[in-house]
Chains A and B, each alone.
Chain A
Amino acid sequence: MATTAQSRPAPDVSPQHTTTLWAQIWSVLQGLLIPILSVITAIILGSILILLNGRDPITAFEGLFEGAFLEPRGLLLTFRNMTPLILSGLAVAFAFKSGLLNIGVQGQLIIGSVMAAWIGFAVEGLPPAIHVTLAIVAAALAGGLWAAIAGALKAYADAHEVITTIMLNYIAAQFAGWLISTGSDGSRPGPLASPEAVTDAIARTPEILPSARLPVVYTVPPNFELHAGIFIAIIATVAITFLLYRTTFGFSLRMAGYSPSAAKYAGVNVKRVTIMTMLIAGCLAGLAGGIQTLGVNHGYEANQSLGLGFDGITVAFLAGNNPIGINFSALLFGAMDAGTTRMALNANVAKELIQVIQALILMFVAADQIIRRIYRIRATGPGARLKISQNK
């Protein structure tokens, strides 16, 4: 059921769909076709850009692959990158299932990061297991509550969640910026600013205590570490899948997404569902931020996860908002980000190329008609008419 990536035939809506094994596999492949072709087309267009700059695309993408998978450090980086991407992708997808477009992952993530850092350095004397858990839970809750603001505004004041979450993004960024401001411009340092950072260029919180660090799973010498966050992301994926497809709440959430008025008549408290959906989505985003703080940065510093929130949108849409699929699209994006350094080094191609490719992927996945037209794919199957774009 979780494998209906792109076309999303909505199992509770189309019982007439015969489910022999082959039919299922075929529908999965069909679902994968558009995302894969989107990625390929975006890469081809990216290659043209590389050629325009007089560089060699083959060398560039070889470098990208090498940097992302073949070097031990790179593979580790790929896994490390994909962790917050899974969670921010889930944060977008989960909200989307109930018809909400969560553009606010970035802000929720920042709030989570700061919260984790604060618990991480300010709470002393706890055993590691408890300290990490406390920091993670606090990060998730903080992100969740931040997102719930947008949910409540939607539910009770009819304020569109896209606008409020965008505004909350900037409020979060400014707020975090104030908390850690160094005071180098003559003003007072922020309440969470590191005392040592006052002279430093980058504003940041003090380093978290060793007891708050995420446990290290694997180390590449000399000191390149993979933290345990990837497991949290996978557990979150399973939990979200279960919540969406196996619980009453998940059912009412999806129903509110398909048709709010129908859900209302069926007795679903749409207002409550809206707030809860945003709360949970925000928890996922906060978790992503917390993991970055506790596992990678060991503190919160200015601009530490710039763009992660918006990448979450692309990751989610590439996977057709399917929780399991998000793990794979996050892997792809994590690898792309990990390989850029090698690509830049080998082929002298600026790393922003990856951003262009990612934007194109989002465009093609969302405008699947373009891909269908280029590759002459006809829309088939019961779910084919239900496109991402029409879900709202």
Chain B
Amino acid sequence: MSETELGLALIATINFTIRYSVPITLGALSGILCERSGIVNIGIEGMMLLAAFTGFMANVTLSEPQVSPALQAAPVRLTLAVAVALLTGGLLGLLHAVLSIQYKVDQIVSGTVINILALGLTGYFYRLNAPTLGKLPNLIDNPFGRDSSLELKLADNLTLYLPYDIGRIIFDKDLITYLTLVIVFVLGWALFHTTWGLRTRSIGENPRAADTLGINVYRLQYTNLFLGGMLAGLGGGFLTLAAVGLFEQGMTTGRGFIALAVMIFGNWRPWGALRGALLFGFATALQGQLQQFGIDFPHQLVGMLPYILTIVVLAGFVGRAQPPAFSGKVYETEG
């Protein structure tokens, strides 16, 4: 074991936790927005997957040699790619809205349609080894150098460099990571302190009453599902445009469902979702690090944790999850 191993592992764990939690948080926010508006969204997984794909393909298309250099410049190209991912998510959100509001399809079935559709479409249009000109760069690079940092030797195998190590956690991140934090803050505030938030929560709790008060329930549901879809789309875009830089078939590997778990775990609140995502991310990161230190604990059993915890919370064994009262039901206006 080299001397700095524990220090490195610490930073790696924290950074992994953050990277893991970004798409999960965005997915959970998508779920929150939809469920607060009275529509259950189990299609987050599919929205993420398809958006990850279209965002990536936009990046691939714009990276082709015949495209004008003005469009190929990293900021323009990647902004367009992220926009495509957002739009894809938003459109799937609208599809979910049309199916479950206009056609009164069971919301779970509609979500399932989106999941299967995304899996099929991405598989069908998938191209092996499509090249791009690169993914999202770090928004801010670490301003601190390691050489100029103070070396703190806390133990034989634990050395930290300050402020270099802190810089590695706070800076060196892409745009979407910072944006996620902003969105959590904005949504957490807007949902509980604005007229829009009050209306959204009211149609999720009691649409009849909201309708009586003159709130256009359906229009608000459509808007919020579009926004919710965009959030899931951003989560998908993060995977292919910021984290991995490549698309692989079925690459969301259940993140949309972990997001659902996190949403419940966080009691349908944005900050709670962020906390839950960080917690699950930390468990996953820790498990990976433990293995490197020769501690043998099966990662699958750690992987079960989010799901078990969700059931525990949902069943009211610890605390009590409070879903929006009308979530998942069909609302029909009178007359």
B123 CB, nearest partner CB in chain A, Å: 3
Contact across chains for B119 and A352 when beta carbons are under 8 A apart: yes
State A313–B121 Cα separation when bound (angstroms).
19
Contact across chains for B298 and A356 when beta carbons are under 8 A apart: no
> With A167-B261, A174-B304 as given contacts, are A159 and B314 in contact (CB-CB < 8 Å)?
yes
Number of B residues, CB within 8 Å of A: 50
Q: Which residue of A lies closest to B99 (CB)?
A: A367
Contact indicator per residue, chain A 351-370, by CB within 8 Å of chain B (1) or not (0): 11111111110110011011
Contact across chains for B105 and A389 when beta carbons are under 8 A apart: yes
Contact across chains for B311 and A159 when beta carbons are under 8 A apart: yes
State A392–B104 Cα separation when bound (angstroms).
11
Which residues from A are CB-within-8-Å of B261?
167
State A370–B112 Cα separation when bound (angstroms).
18
Contact indicator per residue, chain B 7-40, by CB within 8 Å of chain A (1) or not (0): 0000000000000000000000000000000001
Contact across chains for B106 and A101 when beta carbons are under 8 A apart: yes
State A191–B42 Cα separation when bound (angstroms).
33
Which residues from A are CB-within-8-Å of B258?
170
B333 CB, nearest partner CB in chain A, Å: 15
Q: Does A258 reach chain B (CB closer than 8 Å)?
A: no
User: Looking at chain A, what size class is its interface with the partner chain?
Assistant: 35 or more
Which residues from A are CB-within-8-Å of B105?
363, 366-367, 389
B40 CB, nearest partner CB in chain A, Å: 8
State A364–B161 Cα separation when bound (angstroms).
60
Contact across chains for A350 and B119 when beta carbons are under 8 A apart: no
Contact across chains for A359 and B314 when beta carbons are under 8 A apart: no
Which residues from B are CB-within-8-Å of A167?
257, 261, 307-308, 310-311
Q: Does A300 reach chain B (CB closer than 8 Å)?
A: no
Contact across chains for B260 and A163 when beta carbons are under 8 A apart: yes
Which residues from B are CB-within-8-Å of A177?
300, 303
State A310–B303 Cα separation when bound (angstroms).
22
B34 CB, nearest partner CB in chain A, Å: 14
Contact across chains for A356 and B108 when beta carbons are under 8 A apart: no
Which residues from B are CB-within-8-Å of A359?
113, 116-117, 119-120
Q: Does A297 reach chain B (CB closer than 8 Å)?
A: no
Contact across chains for B124 and A49 when beta carbons are under 8 A apart: yes
Q: Which residue of A lies closest to B110 (CB)?
A: A366
Contact across chains for B106 and A356 when beta carbons are under 8 A apart: no
Contact across chains for B298 and A181 when beta carbons are under 8 A apart: yes
A134 CB, nearest partner CB in chain B, Å: 27
Which residues from A are CB-within-8-Å of B315?
153, 157, 159, 164
Q: Does A249 reach chain B (CB closer than 8 Å)?
A: no
Contact of B314 among A160, A190, A353, A356 (CB under 8 A): A160
Q: Does B145 reach chain A (CB closer than 8 Å)?
A: no
Contact across chains for A171 and B304 when beta carbons are under 8 A apart: yes
State A253–B300 Cα separation when bound (angstroms).
37
> With A167-B311, A362-B116 as given contacts, are A350 and B126 in contact (CB-CB < 8 Å)?
yes
State A292–B31 Cα separation when bound (angstroms).
35
Contact across chains for B109 and A170 when beta carbons are under 8 A apart: no
Q: Does A79 reach chain B (CB closer than 8 Å)?
A: no
Contact of B296 among A187, A351, A353, A369 (CB under 8 A): A187
A96 CB, nearest partner CB in chain B, Å: 10
A183 CB, nearest partner CB in chain B, Å: 9
Which residues from A are CB-within-8-Å of B291?
185-187
Contact indicator per residue, chain A 149-189, by CB within 8 Å of chain B (1) or not (0): 00001000111101110111111001101100100011110
Q: Does A387 reach chain B (CB closer than 8 Å)?
A: yes
Q: Which residue of B lies closest to A161 (CB)?
A: B108
Contact across chains for B108 and A355 when beta carbons are under 8 A apart: no
Which residues from A are CB-within-8-Å of B257?
166-167, 169-170
Q: Does B143 reach chain A (CB closer than 8 Å)?
A: no
Contact of A355 among B119, B254, B307, B310 (CB under 8 A): B119
Q: Does B152 reach chain A (CB closer than 8 Å)?
A: no
Contact indicator per residue, chain B 238-265, by CB within 8 Å of chain A (1) or not (0): 0000000000000000100110110010
B28 CB, nearest partner CB in chain A, Å: 13
In the complex, chain B residues 90-133 whose Cβ is within 8 Å of any chain A Cβ: 99, 103-106, 108-110, 112-113, 115-117, 119-126
In the complex, chain A residues 95-130 whose Cβ is within 8 Å of any chain B Cβ: 101, 103
Q: Which residue of A lies closest to B295 (CB)?
A: A187
Please indicate which of the listed interface residues B254, B260, B300 has the most CB atoms of chain A within 10 Å of its own CB.
Answer: B300
Which residues from B are CB-within-8-Å of A369?
103-104
> With A167-B310, A167-B311, A353-B120 as given contacts, are A363 and B99 in contact (CB-CB < 8 Å)?
yes
Q: Does A332 reach chain B (CB closer than 8 Å)?
A: no
Which residues from A are CB-within-8-Å of B296?
186-188
Contact across chains for B104 and A389 when beta carbons are under 8 A apart: yes
Which residues from B are CB-within-8-Å of A351?
123
Which residues from A are CB-within-8-Å of B297?
187
Which residues from A are CB-within-8-Å of B260?
163, 166
Which residues from A are CB-within-8-Å of B113?
359, 362-363, 366
Which residues from B are CB-within-8-Å of A356?
117, 120-121, 124
State A99–B42 Cα separation when bound (angstroms).
18
A262 CB, nearest partner CB in chain B, Å: 18
Q: Does A30 reach chain B (CB closer than 8 Å)?
A: no
State A182–B257 Cα separation when bound (angstroms).
26
A77 CB, nearest partner CB in chain B, Å: 20
Which residues from A are CB-within-8-Å of B104?
369, 387, 389-390
B199 CB, nearest partner CB in chain A, Å: 25
Contact of A174 among B121, B122, B303, B311 (CB under 8 A): B303
Which residues from B are CB-within-8-Å of A354?
120
State A354–B126 Cα separation when bound (angstroms).
14
> With A159-B314, A363-B99 as given contacts, are A178 and B116 in contact (CB-CB < 8 Å)?
no
Q: Does B330 reach chain A (CB closer than 8 Å)?
A: yes
Contact across chains for A175 and B117 when beta carbons are under 8 A apart: no
A345 CB, nearest partner CB in chain B, Å: 16
Question: 15 A-B contacts, Cβ less than 8 Å apart?
Answer: A53-B125, A159-B311, A162-B108, A163-B310, A163-B314, A167-B311, A168-B311, A174-B300, A181-B298, A313-B109, A358-B116, A359-B116, A366-B99, A366-B109, A367-B99
**A-B residue pairs, 3 tightest by C-beta:** A352-B123, A355-B120, A178-B300
13 new A-B contacts, CB < 8 A, other than A355-B123, A366-B110, are A157-B317, A159-B314, A170-B257, A174-B300, A175-B301, A177-B300, A177-B303, A187-B291, A350-B126, A352-B120, A353-B124, A355-B116, A366-B105
Q: Which residues of B contact A (CB under 8 A)?
A: 40, 42, 99, 103-106, 108-110, 112-113, 115-117, 119-126, 254, 257-258, 260-261, 264, 291, 296-301, 303-304, 307-308, 310-311, 314-317, 323, 328-330
